[in-house]
Structure 1
Amino acid sequence: MVATVKVFKKTSPNGKLTVYLGKRDFVDHQDSVDPIEGVVVVDGEYLKNRKVFGQVITSIRYGRERDEVMGLQFCKEMVLISEQIAPDSKTKSNLSPLQEKLLKKLGSDAHAFTFQLPTTAPTSVVLQENSNDQPMGIEYDLRAFVGENQDDRGHKRSSVSLAIRKVQYAPSLRSQKQPSTLVSKGFTFSSGKLNMEVTLDKELYYHNEPVGVNILVTNNSKKTVKNIQVSILQNVEITIVNSHFSKRVSHLESREGCPITPGSSLTKTFMVTPVATSVKEKQGIALDGYMRDEDVNLASSTLSERGSNDATGFIITYTVRVQLNLGAISGELVADVPMKLMHPMPGTSDKYGRGKGAPDNKVISRYDNNSYAKDEDENIIFEDFARLRMNEPE
């Protein structure tokens, strides 16, 4: 049985330029990023003495569009890659099997290209908003156009723009580390302390996987614990403006085992599961991919061995917070434990993820009028995206 290959295809409005890509998600492996490998087909008679250029552009929106007044802008657009694709400036080598198959199938008007994203480029992420504004976050576009030079962008009818994503997956081997913390609280007018130890089952969890929170409370004080709250917080740092905030993405409150009276203790495990569907109406939640995708997940934790000081974008972390409520006068005891939330590496068996653990390309549902046609000879599925980006003219 011959495996079927899925190819993403998009044609310019005038039908003279077509771009083919084998995938839209490109994985950051810390020391390298998957190459962007594709093929461009351009009408030779239309091209004449002009050239085809390819660019990879990242848009970083760190403020609401409605707040842009008096020339103030909260969006930065950077061209990460800009190269000539056709006519070929040199003989292409190290082509992928998909590129070789497409070049053979599409003929002399086809030209292969390979772009390499820098490892310092931020991971794709958007913030959930209940408005018609452009979503805050980081988006990538692969653009191809016909022009005299790299700055000639006046002919939108002969240009193509495809959304792509830069993503990170969990390491293939999960760490055996169990994050934990121990906190205590003393009281001014009474002796003894209230102690709490919080331990997680593991450090890294996959999306949709329940998080086991183990709690040990020892009450050596004269106060009484009335209830326990367990939350998972999503922490977002916007490095470009040096701001940060936290949003609660999962929460439970329990009175089981309470009240914890003076001299008593409690050992208990709580299970909480952070999922995007439970906070789909809450603004400011960071999501993986595009927020209009029905199957979108919470944003994955940002992994970076290069340190946050070198990152330009949105850094996502997660924290498990446990609160012991002692009443209005005595206050509360709070413990925070860090955790990671990610997709498993594609091909990894995981009962909590989709398929074999890898997110699919449903982020592309931001385009309309999708159609599929199967070529029986080459065993290739072409997915045709008939419209440009939603905020651009057709």
Structure 2
Amino acid sequence: MNNIKNQKTWKNKFKKKSKRKIESIEEVSSIVLSDDSYGIFSQTLTINDLTPFQLKMINKNNQQTIPFRIILPPSISPSSVAIQTTQGSNNKPYGINYELTAFIGQRIDDNQPASSTVTIVLRKLTAGPKITQRPLQPIVESIKKTINLPCYYGELFIKASIEKPLYYHDESVCVSIVLDNLCQLPVRKLQVAIVQIAEVFVLTKGTYRLTVDKHFCKVNLPQAGEEQWKYTTILNTNLTDNILKHGVALDGYIRQEKNWLASSTVLNLSENFKECLEMMQNINKNVNNSTDLVIKANKELHGIVISYCVRVRCWIGISRCSLYIPFLLMQPEKESEAGEVDNHPSDLKVTNDELVEISNDNKSTV
């Protein structure tokens, strides 16, 4: 009998505490989830602004659900990038990630108790143009190698091209190569590869280079004096277990969901997306002094800058020459639904001068 009485009194106390918690949730939520200039929307959301998932949760939980929406400023919030650590290690990938944390407390400045805190990992992806609107002009690069050895001399011309400047994840890249061997030596070996370059500006500066896919050709190569030798190969951009190793950059990392290679970083150098693509392709070639400071400020603001290129290497005699074709690897932009709120409001954009000021402010605060 005593045990039954104790259980009843414990249940009554638990019910009273739970009621107090529910009241405190309503008080805190009405204060915290107010409209904010940084992109937190709650009270001004209408039924047309809600997603199907939010409508489903409201119908299921009635008045206990408070919908809200957070918009990250696209100009000053970098995309999610996670650099994989050593395979088999328990350490989490380091890089740029976003977490949404909600907790229950009596006051806003209370400590976050672990038992009353929920954290959701978010990924901010870089969206390129729609599949029907992406540029399709081919990219062609060429290089000339002069061989000047005691008994052998001549020139080697390499011309390589890809079909388009922008590819989406899991698409194949077709590389076409034309060789003019005007030398007295035969070509020994040819290598074609896709290289991922990750420039890190977080805490310490560094550069990671990873070969995503590569192909060797050692037979039927052009002999001495052979011209217009043509070769075509296909390389993959999908994420496989072979390249999931130390140094690979991913579009964020969530174990329960599908992961991709990190999308190319598009620096905020122009409001026109096509002009921005052209600048990204030529960013490592000819950079004026006027734009060098803006590019540096953009890179520091993003934290981790991802770029891709097709590398063609040719061995002739004891010499080796390399050719690089830059391209972009991104996510396709999703079709906008009716009544959807604009995810990139115009008033959140910043100019190049403001980017330089933000970069200088970040340096002073570190």
* Residue 262 of structure 1: how far off its partner (Å): 2.6
Q: Pick the aligned partner of 1:110 from 56, 65, 77.
A: 65
In the other structure, the counterpart of 2:110 is 152
- Does the CA-based 8 Å contact 2:179-2:222 persist in structure 1? no
| 1:97 has 2:55 as partner | no
Q: Which ranges of structure 1 fall in alignment gaps of 5 or more residues?
A: 1-14, 17-42, 55-82, 349-394
CA deviations on 1:99-136 (whole Å, 9 max, x unpaired) are 45644553333323222212121111212221111211
Aligned equivalents of 2:215, 2:143: Cα separation in 1: 20
Q: Pick the aligned partner of 2:192 from 220, 230, 251.
A: 230
TM alignment of 1:1-394, pairs within 5 A: 45-48=20-23, 51-52=27-28, 84-85=32-33, 91-95=43-47, 96-98=49-51, 99=54, 102-103=57-58, 105-119=60-74, 120-129=76-85, 130=87, 131-172=89-130, 173-189=133-149, 190-240=152-202, 241-290=204-253, 292-293=255-256, 295-306=258-269, 307=295, 309-310=297-298, 311-327=301-317, 329=318, 331-346=319-334
Name the one with the larger strand percent.
1
Relative distance call for 1:308 and 1:144 in structure 2 (3 A) is farther
Paired positions, count: 278
Which amino acid counterpart does residue 82 of structure 2 have in structure 1? V
Q: Which ranges of structure 2 fall in alignment gaps of 5 or more residues?
A: 1-13, 270-294, 337-366
* Residue 291 of structure 1: how far off its partner (Å): 5.9
Relative distance call for 1:206 and 1:146 in structure 2 (3 A) is same
- Does the CA-based 8 Å contact 2:213-2:236 persist in structure 1? yes
Name the one with the larger helix percent.
2
- Does the CA-based 8 Å contact 1:323-1:335 persist in structure 2? yes
- Give the superposed CA RMSD: 3.2
* Residue 319 of structure 1: how far off its partner (Å): 0.7
TM-score (norm 2): 0.67
- Does the CA-based 8 Å contact 2:42-2:67 persist in structure 1? no
Which amino acid counterpart does residue 46 of structure 1 have in structure 2? K
CA deviations on 1:346-394 (whole Å, 9 max, x unpaired) are 359xxxxxxxxxxxxxxxxxxxxxxxxxxxxxxxxxxxxxxxxxxxxxx
* Residue 139 of structure 1: how far off its partner (Å): 1.6
Relative distance call for 1:296 and 1:49 in structure 2 (3 A) is closer
Matched position secondary structure for 2:77 = coil
TM-score (norm 1): 0.63
Task: Give the % identical residues.
Answer: 29
- Does the CA-based 8 Å contact 2:143-2:158 persist in structure 1? yes
Aligned equivalents of 2:254, 2:42: Cα separation in 1: 40
